[in-house]
Amino acid sequence: MTAPAKTGLPSNKAVRDLLEGLLGRDVTVGPGAPVTPNPSRPAAVAAYVDPTSRLNAIVLIDLPLSAWCAGALALLPKGGCEDSVEEGELTDMQVEVLHEVVNVAASLFNAGGVTHSKLDRLYAPGEALPGDIAGLTASTNRVDIDVTVAGYGSGSLSVVLA
């Protein structure tokens, strides 16, 4: 499946290729429901800015997918990642590893002459979001993807453009 035809949004294939290349595991993707952080469904939020430091995109990754991506990249045991999901929060090490994932994900916004974007900040699942970022989580200029990381599990992510 491909992303809706909205300028600057990555395709599902681009997200899959990025994650497979980075995590070194098979990744499957498909259409998903929007990721909207709330107390019952915590999510990591990566904020990206343009060269003038203006917010131009966010990536929301639900807690399970955050744990699976961190686990796969750092070669952490699945059981420890499952514990994080059950406890509702990532360890400090998992947040550090997830930071690398979302930093590399900036490349999703830097193709085909689009204004250069860079990671500004990663908000860990459950961390309070500033108003401009919290407001952007409800935007309709987005692509929502369900992701399965082989050997770990499934979760969801949303890419939202400002």
How is domain 13-161 classified at the CATH fold level? Answer: Chemotaxis protein chec (3.40.1550)
Domain-by-domain residue ranges, the chain? 13-161
Q: What is the mean pLDDT of residues 4-19?
A: 82
The pLDDT value given to residue 7: 58
The pLDDT value given to residue 109: 87
Secondary structure class of 74 (helix, strand, coil): helix
Instruction: Note if the pTM is more than 0.75.
Output: yes
Tens of pLDDT, residues 136-148: 999 999 999 999 9
Q: Which residues lie closer than 8 Å to 103 by C-beta, 6 or more apart?
A: 119
For residue 2, what pLDDT band results from cuts at 50, 70 and 90? very low
